[in-house]
Amino acid sequence: MKKYYCLAALFGGLTLSAGGAAADEAVQSIMCATLELRQCDAKAPCHDVNPEDVDAPRLIRIDLGDKTLTASRADGTAFQSIIDHTEEVDQKIIIQGAEDGSKDRHDGVGWTLTISKLTGRMTLAAAGDDVVFVGFGSCAAL
C-alpha cells in the first residue's frame, strides 16, 4: 500500500462549543479527531485505511487566529500546515488548503474539510495524483 505523507494536512476544523452547540466565534483553538478514513485509487476500489497506514495523524490542533494546523505523524514527527481559505455556508465551516507533502516525493494534495456547527461532525476530502482520501470525524473547542 502506498504511503501518502501529505495527508497530515488533511484534517482541520472549526470551533464548536462543548456538546456540538453553535460555534463560538471567540474560540481560536480546536481539536479534531479522525474516526474513519477511506482511500480511493484510480485503478482500484475504495477501501478503509488506518490513518497511521497513510501517515495521517488521528488528532489535529487548529489555531484559527494563526490559520495553522499542528499535529504529529505516526512516526512522531511534528508538522504544521497553513489553512488557505475558510468560509461559512449553511451552518457549516468549510476549510480549504493545499499541502506539498514530502519534499522528496510527488505527493501533494488539495483538500477540503467541512465541519457542522450544529453537531461538530467533520467530513474531509483530499485529492492528489490518482488518489482521493475521504474521512469522517469530530471536532471540539479547546
HEC states along 85-132? EEEEECCEEEEEEEECCCCCCCCCEEEEEEEECCCCEEEEEEEECCEE
**Total domains present in the chain:** 1
pLDDT mean across residues, the chain:
78
CATH number at residue 21: 2.40.160
Identify whether the C-beta of residue 124 lies closer than 8 Å to the C-beta of residue 111. yes
Contact in structure between 124 and 100 (CB atoms under 8 Å): no
Residue 110: CB partners within 8 Å, gap ≥ 6?
96, 97, 98, 126, 127, 128
Statement: residue 25 has pLDDT above 50: yes
**What's the whole-number mean pLDDT along residues 60-89?**
85
Mean pLDDT of all residues in 33-46: 93
- Domain containing 85 equals 5-141
pLDDT for res 77 = 84
- In the structure, how many helices (H) and strands (E) does the chain have? 0, 10
Assessment of whether the complete model's pTM goes beyond 0.85: no
